[in-house]
Amino acid sequence: MKVSREQVAENRRRILEAAGRLFRERGFEAVTVAEVMKAAGLTHGGFYGHFASKDDLIAAALAEMVVAPGVEPVALAPYAARYLSTVHRQDCAGGCPVAALGAETIRQSPKARAAMTEGLRRQIARLSAGTSGTAPEESRRAAIGSWAAMLGAMILARLSDDPDLSDEVLAETRAFIEERAPAPAARSQT
């Protein structure tokens, strides 16, 4: 039975979505191709019609998770408030792929690292574009420093087995960013 192009695309989307959730929840090494396919509601045999290997799947899943199309400006302080929340901390499987998988990606294929690098470039551009009243290099510095602080805080908050310390790391990092964040860029009224 021949599968339509639309169904092939939908199956690939389901595989990437399932892989992204499982990888963020358990890491690359702890997830098998069979588990990804089962979570996607597909048979294991169909995997190789979409991907050449697990490494290929990892790179494609990372690209899907971190390389959003376009560069929509994001204001630093409100973004940090959402990112550095207890809800996000608790949702590894649905949360930030960089906080969940960044350290593991260092040891992945060049294609996987390239996807993370492109995601980093776009995130810096989004956060830089969300500021106004500062020189471009100052906006970029604030974006890079704030993003690094957010990621580090989320990783530290998730690894701590002390809930009070975890909450403190999130709260103090939010306050640190709010004190230093440039003003949000004005949106045009068109």
C-alpha span between 82 and 96 (Å, rounded): 11
| CA geometry: angle 22, 168, 182, nearest 5 deg | 90
C-alpha span between 87 and 179 (Å, rounded): 23
- The residues near 167 (Cβ < 8 Å, ≥ 6 apart) are 86, 157
For 83, the token pair is: 């990112």
User: What was the pLDDT predicted at 187?
Assistant: 52
User: What was the pLDDT predicted at 130?
Assistant: 87
Q: What are phi and psi of 91, to 5 degrees?
A: -105, 65
pLDDT tier at 190, thresholds 50, 70, 90? very low
User: What was the pLDDT predicted at 37?
Assistant: 97
Average pLDDT value for residue range 86-99: 96
pLDDT at 150 over 60: yes
Give how far Cα 68 sits from Cα of 36, 118, 122, 165, Å: 22, 10, 8, 32
Q: Which residue has the higher pLDDT, 16 or 2?
A: 16
